[in-house]
Chain A
Amino acid sequence: MLFLKRYKKYEHPYITASIIILIFLVFLSLFAPVLTDYSPVRNNARNRLQPPSREHLLGTDQFGRDIFTRILYGIRTSMQVGLAVVLLTVIFGGVVGVAAGYYSQIDRVVMRILDAMMAFPGIIIAISLAAIWGAGKLNIILALSFAYFPKMARIVRSSVISIKDLDYVDSARAAGAKDSRIIVKYILKNSASPIMVQATFNFALAILDEAALSFLGVGIMPPAPSLGAMVTDARTYMVVAPWMILAPGIMIVLAVLSLNLLGDGLRDLLDPHLKNTFQK
């Protein structure tokens, strides 16, 4: 793979660091049930609003639930939402982008629609859609995917346009290759880099926006654990229980930061033509 080859060639501390953090977070979310004995949702009235201690590493919330446990399950929710949004965005954006880029007859119409969709900030589309469909994991996954796919479609489209008239595609066409074969084998394969970079940034954005939606009460429904909803709870008890607010926020920052770092690194690594962030 190109990625691994280049990765070996240029030592890249940013990518390494971000991958280590991400593996750590995936580990936490996968092994949440093993790492903690507490339940993320069961109330324990006697332990309300306990400050951090040996039994409760990060303290407890207003229902006596262990915050460390809620964080582990919360990061699990973030990862699930992020991954699902990335998959759906790549699929929708890929199909629309290839259609617009490859078939120039529909390009204009599709582009106008995408332009209009991009006039709405993603978070506003997502809030409105989540309000229509109701809160819940599946609905916010769909809402965020809907909000992000226009940008992905544009990126795929411009990549397809830059590739489709290259000589090797023309020669494939001359040799009698069908559209489907040209698209999959010659065009998509060579558009993988910008798609991967954008997908990484979308992953980060999805975690950020899922937290914001849950914070506003239109995302993950309580008592299901979500980092954003934990911040909402913490806000109410900010003065009496300040420990509640730090941990979920830091966890979000850690996840988003490492994904953005990975995105920057991938962009530098995979596409020498793009604006480099770290290396020049």
Chain B
Amino acid sequence: MRNYIIKRILLLIPIIFIVAVIAFFITNLMPGDPVRVILGNMATESEVARLEQTLGLDQPLIVRFFRWLANIMRGDFGDSLYLNAPVAEVLIKRLRPTFLIAILAEILGIAGGMLLGILAAVKHRKFLDQFSITLSLFGISIPSFWLALMLMYLFSVRLGWFPVSGYEPFAEAGFGTLRYIILPAVTLAFMQAGLIARMTRSAMLDTLKQDYIRTAKSKGLSTKSIVFKHALKNSMMPVITVIGHNFAVLLGGTWIVETIFVIPGTGFMAINAIMRRDIPVIQASIIFVAVIYIILNLFVDLSYAFLNPKIRYN
């Protein structure tokens, strides 16, 4: 197991390198000259040249890339062009709302999705099955920005249960923070629940056809104990994969819902940075999402190897 873990971690190095390449070159092809943005229209040519030299922008792209890579290895993503602070610092400050939303959405999505999926598989071809298929299909087909606005209209504007937008940190509002993040989290949970329900259902249906389930049935075990004790555990692997792979979709979704609900998290920051061409912030945001996704999927793979020894020795 230890060798397997080391091998998997070493495999991450080329992937993270390519992630850095993509993040750097995407952002450096952006139109708009950051030097002109900083200095404004009144700057003279010599001022522009001087700042370019200080920022190292007069060097060839490839030299800049390796210099930049060396810096981010040390956790230095440069300074934001607008927020007048190191990007890494700003990013860390904004992590909390994003994580709160993502974790709450994931919990709601897993709970709702697995419940729907199990119900559908147990009541195969009955009304509940059809109902859950339809619901999960809606989950993956509704655009999150529209769902967010509909929820906002219904629960904030009409019913007044939640604030329309904004955010108060946990330190100030305590559990009042939940009032701000519940609608964004529900929006994102809807799609996750749809994806998870579909996978849970088909994995459960596969498992329920196995011989050992028939044995358990003929032993006279109750449906409840067959489903939860015997079938569910063995249906978990594909479900865990879906959760791991779609965490990236979830994080991408925070970019949109944070923008709609004006929540000062990393997604809101990223969208603002894109609109303002704040390149260091964009780079850090893109890398942040990719690295989280990579680490999470490493854990998914490791849990596979943990659950199934066959994978370790391959």
> A residues near B, CB below 8 A?
112-113, 115-117, 119-125, 127-129, 131-132, 134, 204, 208, 211-212, 215-218, 228, 231, 234-235, 238-239, 242, 245, 248-249, 252-253, 256-257, 260-261, 264, 275-278, 280
Interface with A: B75-83, B104-112, B135-143, which one? B135-143
User: For the complex, what is the distance from the CA of A69 to the CA of B134, rounded to whole Å?
Assistant: 30
User: For the complex, what is the distance from the CA of A169 to the CA of B294, rounded to whole Å?
Assistant: 36
Q: Interface SS of chain A: helix, strand, loop or mixed?
A: helix
B286 near A124 with CB under 8 A, answer yes
Instruction: Give, as a whole number of angstroms, the nearest-CB distance from A26 to chain B.
Output: 18
Q: Pull 30 A–B residue pairs with CB atoms less than 8 Å apart, ordered by A.
A: A116-B14, A119-B15, A121-B249, A123-B255, A124-B255, A124-B270, A125-B26, A127-B271, A128-B274, A128-B282, A129-B26, A132-B29, A211-B145, A211-B146, A212-B143, A212-B145, A212-B256, A216-B145, A228-B143, A231-B146, A238-B157, A245-B149, A249-B143, A252-B146, A256-B142, A261-B137, A264-B137, A275-B206, A276-B205, A277-B198
B307 located at the interface, meaning its Cβ lies under 8 Å from any Cβ of chain A in the complex: no
B234 located at the interface, meaning its Cβ lies under 8 Å from any Cβ of chain A in the complex: no
Chain B residues near A115 (CB-CB < 8 A): 15, 18
Chain A residues near B175 (CB-CB < 8 A): none
Instruction: Give, as a whole number of angstroms, the nearest-CB distance from B17 to chain A.
Output: 8
Instruction: Give, as a whole number of angstroms, the nearest-CB distance from B277 to chain A.
Output: 8
B30, B137, B290: which contacts A131 (Cβ < 8 A)?
Answer: B30
* A239-B157, A245-B150, A257-B137 known; A216-B256 Cβ under 8 A: yes
Chain B residues near A124 (CB-CB < 8 A): 251-252, 255, 270, 286, 289
User: For the complex, what is the distance from the CA of A225 to the CA of B243, rounded to whole Å?
Assistant: 35
A122, A218, A278: which contacts B133 (Cβ < 8 A)?
Answer: A278
Q: Interface SS of chain B: helix, strand, loop or mixed?
A: helix
A253 near B18 with CB under 8 A, answer no
> B residues near A, CB below 8 A?
14-19, 22, 26-27, 29-31, 124, 133, 137-138, 140-146, 149-150, 152-153, 157, 198-199, 201-203, 205-206, 238, 248-249, 251-253, 255-256, 259-260, 270-271, 274-275, 277, 282, 286, 289-291, 293-294
A277 near B202 with CB under 8 A, answer yes
B140 near A249 with CB under 8 A, answer no
Chain A residues near B146 (CB-CB < 8 A): 211, 231, 245, 248-249, 252-253
Chain A residues near B157 (CB-CB < 8 A): 238-239
B149, B238, B252: which contacts A238 (Cβ < 8 A)?
Answer: B149
B141 near A277 with CB under 8 A, answer no
A253 near B137 with CB under 8 A, answer no
Taking each of A204, A257, A264, which has the highest tally of chain B beta carbons within 10 Å of its own beta carbon? A257
A120 near B133 with CB under 8 A, answer no
CB-based closest 8 A-B pairs: A121-B252, A116-B18, A249-B146, A119-B290, A257-B141, A256-B141, A275-B202, A121-B248
Instruction: Give, as a whole number of angstroms, the nearest-CB distance from B239 to chain A.
Output: 12
Q: A117-B22, A124-B252 are in contact. List 8 more A-B contacts (CB 8 A).
A: A120-B289, A123-B255, A134-B31, A208-B141, A249-B143, A257-B138, A275-B206, A277-B202
Taking each of A112, A116, A248, A260, which has the highest tally of chain B beta carbons within 10 Å of its own beta carbon? A116
B140 near A215 with CB under 8 A, answer no
Chain B residues near A278 (CB-CB < 8 A): 133
Chain A residues near B31 (CB-CB < 8 A): 132, 134
Instruction: Give, as a whole number of angstroms, the nearest-CB distance from B9 to chain A.
Output: 14
B22, B138, B282, B293: which contacts A253 (Cβ < 8 A)?
Answer: B138
User: For the complex, what is the distance from the CA of A121 to the CA of B296, rounded to whole Å?
Assistant: 14
B141 near A215 with CB under 8 A, answer no
User: For the complex, what is the distance from the CA of A235 to the CA of B283, rounded to whole Å?
Assistant: 29
Instruction: Give, as a whole number of angstroms, the nearest-CB distance from B27 to chain A.
Output: 7
A122 near B252 with CB under 8 A, answer yes
A112 near B289 with CB under 8 A, answer no
Chain B residues near A119 (CB-CB < 8 A): 15, 19, 248, 289-291, 293-294
Instruction: Give, as a whole number of angstroms, the nearest-CB distance from A136 to chain B.
Output: 13
A216 near B206 with CB under 8 A, answer no
**Smallest CB gap from A207: residue in B:** B143
Chain B residues near A275 (CB-CB < 8 A): 199, 202-203, 206, 238
B248 near A235 with CB under 8 A, answer no
**Smallest CB gap from A108: residue in B:** B14
User: For the complex, what is the distance from the CA of A125 to the CA of B290, rounded to whole Å?
Assistant: 11
Taking each of A217, A235, A276, which has the highest tally of chain B beta carbons within 10 Å of its own beta carbon? A235
User: For the complex, what is the distance from the CA of A120 to the CA of B124, rounded to whole Å?
Assistant: 36
A253 near B142 with CB under 8 A, answer yes
A212 near B144 with CB under 8 A, answer yes
User: For the complex, what is the distance from the CA of A218 to the CA of B277, rounded to whole Å?
Assistant: 13
Taking each of B29, B140, B143, B150, which has the highest tally of chain A beta carbons within 10 Å of its own beta carbon? B143
A127 near B274 with CB under 8 A, answer yes
Instruction: Give, as a whole number of angstroms, the nearest-CB distance from A200 to chain B.
Output: 13
User: For the complex, what is the distance from the CA of A204 to the CA of B141, rounded to whole Å?
Assistant: 8
**Smallest CB gap from A217: residue in B:** B275
Chain B residues near A260 (CB-CB < 8 A): 137, 140-141
Taking each of A128, A249, A276, which has the highest tally of chain B beta carbons within 10 Å of its own beta carbon? A128
**Smallest CB gap from A134: residue in B:** B31
B124 near A280 with CB under 8 A, answer yes
Instruction: Give, as a whole number of angstroms, the nearest-CB distance from B285 to chain A.
Output: 8
B30 near A252 with CB under 8 A, answer no
B15 near A216 with CB under 8 A, answer no
* A121-B252, A245-B150 known; A112-B290 Cβ under 8 A: no
Instruction: Give, as a whole number of angstroms, the nearest-CB distance from B249 to chain A.
Output: 6
